[in-house]
Structure 1
Amino acid sequence: MRVWAVANQKGGVGKTTTSVSLAGLLADSGKRVVVLDLDPHGSMTSYFGQDPDNIERSVFDLFQHQGTVPEGLPRELLVPTSHERISLLPSSTVLATLERQSPGQNGLGLVIAKSLSQLWQDFDYAIIDSPPLLGVLMVNALAASQRLVIPVQTEFLALKGLERMVSTLKMINRSRRQALPYTIVPTMFDRRTQASMNTLKLLRNGYQDHLWQAFIPIDTRLRDASLAGLVPSQYDPNSRAVIAYRALLKALLAAQETTQVA
């Protein structure tokens, strides 16, 4: 299994859309994919028709065992989605209470890694949709992952979130045996606006080594796909955004191969 986290310390930059789009394209190609919603807002959970306010069992259950994960529990929590090759570990709004519970509990930072180890043979890819705040949930996402995808909306304020995310990553890397490779993905790009053009230029000047050189354009078909509860490539495989995400996936897979060879 390959594990990718999608994270940024700013909300509204396209994390869930990116997670769902990449998962859908991987599944379309025949891969078995599990998506994990670690955001208490539960956007990915809602995307696939589950209610994070009322769901009975969720990833929250994984954190209720003092840092251990009972055998079989991650598999019990899986729910199907609109795509036959994608399974979901759903979120619950009660996840927001986890930070208050976590002080004094050892080992909570590795709960997701331990959970995925039980699903290792069941899936080819795991994609983690992370919360926009640094805490035990984001630490879990980064600790479990082999690659980080950082969506950045192409507007000036989003650059601050990127700065915080890169700073967090440097901190996390001190406790990892290997530095976590990451790819910055410009999202919601609108070439008609000066803000998008200027932000893309700043990204290319400041983050050249880790930046995907293309971008995800503004595309209303993404919103339509979300309303339908379908991954974007199922809803409209020829939309501008899906074509862009297909190119992004190709770049991520190529980077993955390079990392494996190294």
Structure 2
Amino acid sequence: MRVWSIANQKGGVGKTTSVVALGGLLAQQGYRVLLVDLDPHGSLTSYFKLDPDRVEHGMYQLFFENRCRNHDYIEQVIRPTSMNNAHLLPASTALATLERQVSGQEGMGLVLSRTLAQVWDDYDFALLDTPPILGVLMVNALAACQRLVIPTQTEHLALKGLERMVHTLQMVMRSQRRELPYLIVPTLFDRRTSASITTLREMRKLYSDCLSPETIPVDTRLRDASQQGVFPHQLDPDSRGVRAYRHLLNLLESEVAKVG
């Protein structure tokens, strides 16, 4: 299984959209895909028309009673999506209380890794949608993944969130004593605005060695897909947004091929 985290310590930058778009395109290629919602806001869960306030069995429950080692329980938690080979591990709003409940307990940073180990042969890819704050859920995502994708809105305030995210990543890599490849992806790009152009230019100056050459444009078809609860390529395979995510996926797959 390949595990990719989609993360940024700022909200509203396109994390959930990126998880869904990339996951859908992978599933279209025939891969078995697991989408994991680690955000207490439950945006990924809501995308597929589940109510995070009503999810009784999801990511939250895996942190207790050693359920993360129970394959049968995990299979019951995983839900279908609009594609047969793409599934969802949903979130509930109860995740917002997790930090306080597990504080000081050992092994809480590896719950997701243990969960994925139970279904390792069932999926080819797992894509993780993370919360915009550093805590036990973000630590779980970074510990479990082999690659990090950092969507960053092309507007000035998003640069501070990007700076925090890169700093967090460097701290985690030092503590885990391993390298975690990452790619910064400019999102919500609007070439008609000077703010987008200026911010993209700044990103290229500061992060040239880890910045995707592909920008994800503002595209209302991505929002339309969300409203219908389907993967973007199912709604409009030739939309600007889907084409951009297809190029991004090709880039990520080519990088995986280089490192084996």
TMscore range, shorter length: over 0.9
Report the Cα distance in structure 2 between the residues aligned to 1:183 and 1:146, rounded to whole angstroms: 12
SS in 1 for 2:176: coil
Report the Cα distance in structure 2 between the residues aligned to 1:148 and 1:252, rounded to whole angstroms: 10
Residues 107, 126 of structure 1: alpha-carbon distance in 2 compared, 3 angstrom cutoff: same
Aligned to 1:238: 238
AA at the equivalent of 1:10: K
How many residues align? The count is 260
> How far is 1:73 from its partner?
2.5
- Residues 5 and 145 in structure 2, CA contact (< 8 A), matched pair in contact too: yes
Aligned to 2:17: 17
Once the two structures are superposed, the pairs formed by residues 6-45 of structure 1 within 5 Å of their partners are: 6-45=6-45
Aligned to 1:121: 121
Aligned-CA RMSD value: 1.1
SS in 2 for 1:156: coil
> How far is 1:176 from its partner?
2.5
> How far is 1:223 from its partner?
0.5
AA at the equivalent of 2:35: V
Aligned to 1:222: 222
Tell me the percent identity: 58
Query: Any idea what the Cα deviations from partners look like across 1:181-226, whole Å, max 9, x if unmatched?
Result: 0000000000010100000000111101100012000000000000
Report the Cα distance in structure 2 between the residues aligned to 1:233 and 1:110, rounded to whole angstroms: 33
TM-score (norm 1): 0.97
- Is residue 188 of structure 1 aligned with residue 155 of structure 2? no
Query: Any idea what the Cα deviations from partners look like across 1:5-55, whole Å, max 9, x if unmatched?
Result: 000000000000000000000000000000000000000000011110111
Report the Cα distance in structure 1 between the residues aligned to 2:93 and 2:137, rounded to whole angstroms: 13
Report the Cα distance in structure 1 between the residues aligned to 2:67 and 2:172, rounded to whole angstroms: 19
Aligned to 1:90: 90
SS in 2 for 1:256: helix
Aligned to 1:76: 76
Report the Cα distance in structure 1 between the residues aligned to 2:254 and 2:185, rounded to whole angstroms: 15
Report the Cα distance in structure 1 between the residues aligned to 2:157 and 2:78, rounded to whole angstroms: 36
Aligned to 1:209: 209
SS in 2 for 1:34: strand
> How far is 1:72 from its partner?
2.8
Report the Cα distance in structure 2 between the residues aligned to 1:125 and 1:68, rounded to whole angstroms: 18
> How far is 1:68 from its partner?
5.7
AA at the equivalent of 2:58: S
SS in 2 for 1:52: coil
Residues 238, 52 of structure 1: alpha-carbon distance in 2 compared, 3 angstrom cutoff: same
- Residues 67 and 105 in structure 1, CA contact (< 8 A), matched pair in contact too: no
- Residues 82 and 230 in structure 2, CA contact (< 8 A), matched pair in contact too: yes
AA at the equivalent of 2:160: K
Stretches of structure 2 lacking an aligned partner (at least 5 in a row): none
AA at the equivalent of 1:215: T
Stretches of structure 1 lacking an aligned partner (at least 5 in a row): none
Once the two structures are superposed, the pairs formed by residues 121-140 of structure 1 within 5 Å of their partners are: 121-140=121-140
AA at the equivalent of 2:141: A
- Residues 67 and 111 in structure 1, CA contact (< 8 A), matched pair in contact too: no
| Worse-matched range after superposition: 89-98 or 79-88 | 79-88
Report the Cα distance in structure 2 between the residues aligned to 1:124 and 1:71, rounded to whole angstroms: 17
